[in-house]
Structure 1
Amino acid sequence: MRAVRYHEYGGVEVLVVEQAPAPRPGPGEIRVRVAAAGVNPVDWNVRSGAVREMLPVDLPAIPGLDAVGVVDEIGEGVRGVGTGDRVFGLVGKGVRGAAGTGGVSGRGGVTGATAELAVLSAWAHAPTTWTDEEAAGAGLASVTAMGGLKALGPLRGRTLLVEGAAGGVGSAAVEIAVAQGATVIGTASERNHEFLASLGAVPTTYGAGLAERLAVLAPDGVDIVLDTAGSGSLADLIAIAGDPARVSTIADYANAQRLGVHLAIAEYDSTLLSEASELGRRGRYTPRIELAYPLERIAEAHAYAERGHTRGKIVVRI
């Protein structure tokens, strides 16, 4: 099969498109013929070698954790899905910190989603309302957003602040929270304010003066906070919420435990993916895609995403 691989740790220049052995599904897994795959921060954190002590991979490795495709082989014990079904989901078994720095498993170098064939360990049927590009961007973003939101308890009738609301996880969290009855305020740069409003959030800028801006936007106060940015603002977010128990982060691993906030971990859970799919079917959640690159331009896709400030997700068409 054709796949993106890297034979050594490094920058985007180590990414090559080449022939690779086709993976086979084990018990409880399925294989899909991939239509598109997502690009996530974990991809370049692992590829660069920045987290090799915590998350080593067998080289050569294939980047990518989430994909959409048509099922072409089913592992032992799998029920509820058949060959020819269109599904989206997650590659590997999941590792603590998957949203930001981890979530890979080495298996003879066949580890990732950015290939013609990929083995999924968690999946759901993709709603017909989503394009392949949208479905490719849904897997990791949706389970990460849901993990962060579930840590905060029921959402209906509460005011939620999402820090870093325009990114892949942040934009997913906004739509999912709005669908669950929350009033959502989202922080982002001014160029993304119209985008946030289209998702159902009240936009504001991040940084200095946030508490004062929120006093105007939410005179009765902010009930709960989800940090998806990991920009070092946790102490300020706790002050805004009034209690560290009312704050969760999916990105600031260094400060979460020290400050007593919830550290939400992306779970490789087919139930969560099915919840996201149902919201998609009902038109309540659509993964937002800023750019879709062809496979041959994988280095450009990684380089663009690595610069940060992506609006929604970057995906690669296979």
Structure 2
Amino acid sequence: MTIGVIGGSGIYEALPLENTRKEEVSTPYGDPSEAVTLGELAGKEVAFLPRHGEDHQHTPTDAEYQANIYALKSVGVDRVIATNAVGSLREDLPPRTLVVPDQIFDRTKHRQPTFFGDGMVVHMGFADPYCPEMVDHLATAAEEATDDDTTAEEGGTYVCIEGPQYSTRAESEFYRDQGWDIVGMTAIPEAKLAREAELSYATVAGVTDYDVWKQDNEVTLQEVLENAEANQEAINQVIEHAIRTMPGDFESDAWSALEGTINTPADAIPEETRDRVELLAGEYLA
């Protein structure tokens, strides 16, 4: 197995990877955020990519989502552990809590959510946006790897906003009224693209703030960065434990997610499009 990890550079620096090397990957969707770092941990190959680049130079809207997922797929990744910094929409999910969500509500506006198009129509099922098997595994890892001072919760809805601005109070209160749990800027289109690439994908989200719904609370970058740094050690522990304990007999419906979803006859798909998606859908177009 090859396990992909998408997150901040603090994760890569903390993982005790051996035999590391960097691999420059070119994709039909542009360059990924950085070169892919490959290494070994507990006998398993790990491929790491920082979502926003090593210097956090890509905004949530402009991050290289397509190229990043394609690059991980091209180096043999079949499952992905992501990390996100999020705001809490619940009083009982304070900053420095970890959440392994199982649902997403998409409120983004300006992002490319698919690898396909250009003469190829794909209708992908997305009812369970995070792989249930990976959600369970990450939640178990969070329970086993963190100390008594860290609270980790399995399940919940992540509402993904466009950013880079934080919510208005009206928006934040609306999200709470819907019963959603956390709010962030990077779950979409990453989760959609991971599903199209037939990758088992789930995330560990670290709560950094209460968004702006809480009375006398105004989310600031300083608060987010301070709590994100405090969350980092716990998230690193969860990821390392999840990698070490990843079962060899792991199965995921995501690995056959494209089956029966291509609505365009193969012989009607333009050759240029077929070439571009060969890594992703070639076996279904043969």
Same fold, judged at TM 0.5 (above):
no
Specify the TM-score bucket, using the shorter chain as the normaliser.
0.3 to 0.5
- TM-score by length of structure 1 reads 0.31
Relative contact order, CA 8 A, sep 6+: which one is greater?
2
- TM-score by length of structure 2 reads 0.33
